[in-house]
Amino acid sequence: MLLVDFHVGRKGRMTMGMPFMAARPGEVYESKVWPGLKLEYGERHLLLEAPEEMDGLSSAVYGGGSGRLRRMVNIYVDRQYRCDDPARDIAELLEQWGYPAEGTAGLLTAVPMRYAAVAEERGEDFAVFCCATAGASNAARAGVRRTTFPASWTPGTINVLLAVDGRLTPAAMVNAVMTATEAKTAALGDLGVQD
């Protein structure tokens, strides 16, 4: 496990790492800033499970929208995955793995789960947990003219599982999603990723 500590002023400390580089299915990463929050490594997925239900806002293909969530699942699919009915596919996998459908949001990615990165921070009145998988081999930026692909072409993903232990209004939740999107954009720019 790679782990780097960052001291973040007087508010707290942020940790960042890739805890599953040499993991075996069933290994669990326990949050350093949020007691009871766990990220479990499965053969084809990561399961982020909170100690209790929380308000959720998600663009997930399964369980997306706004509602009460307890679990977020990031699922590996190969690059040739036919996504005719991804919600059905996720529902079948959740049942196979024994996870409740209710209170669960599910995402798909072609990024192997061992490459998931985790960052956490605790402040005086909040804790933030973030797990991300990023695939940028077929990067595409909105608003740029490019060659179009047939319907069988599938896009890459940057999936972010973001959990905030704090008092957020619905508007603040939307702003948190916007800030996470801006952070993804800035990171891609910093790394020189272009479409």
The better pLDDT of the pair 39, 3 is held by: 39
The tens digit of pLDDT for each residue in 40-72 reads 999 899 999 999 999 999 999 999 999 999 999
The tens digit of pLDDT for each residue in 73-121 reads 999 998 888 888 999 999 999 999 999 999 999 999 999 999 999 999 9
Rg (CA), the chain: 17
- SS3 per residue for 147-163: CCCCCCCCCCCEEEEEE
**pLDDT at 9 > cutoff 50:** no
The tens digit of pLDDT for each residue in 163-177 reads 999 989 999 999 999
Check if the beta carbon of residue 164 is closer than 8 Å to that of residue 126. Answer: yes
pLDDT at 191: 84
pTM, full prediction: 0.85
- Residue whose pair of structure tokens reads 């998931």 in the numeric block: 116
Check if the beta carbon of residue 141 is closer than 8 Å to that of residue 109. Answer: no
For the chain, how are helix, strand and coil distributed in percent, rounded to 5? 20, 40, 45
The tens digit of pLDDT for each residue in 139-157 reads 776 777 766 655 555 556 8
**pLDDT at 8 > cutoff 60:** no
| Residue closest to 86 by CA, chosen among 110, 55, 53 | 110
Q: What whole-number distance in Å separates Cα of residue 26 and Cα of residue 21?
A: 14
Residues in the chain: 195
pLDDT band at 1 (very low <50, low <70, confident <90, very high): very low
> What single-letter amino acid sits at 112?
P
Half-sphere exposure of 140 (CA within 13 A, CB side): 12
pLDDT at 190: 87
Any idea which of 4-8, 89-93, 127-131, 158-162 has the lowest mean pLDDT?
A: 4-8
> What single-letter amino acid sits at 45?
H
The better pLDDT of the pair 10, 32 is held by: 32
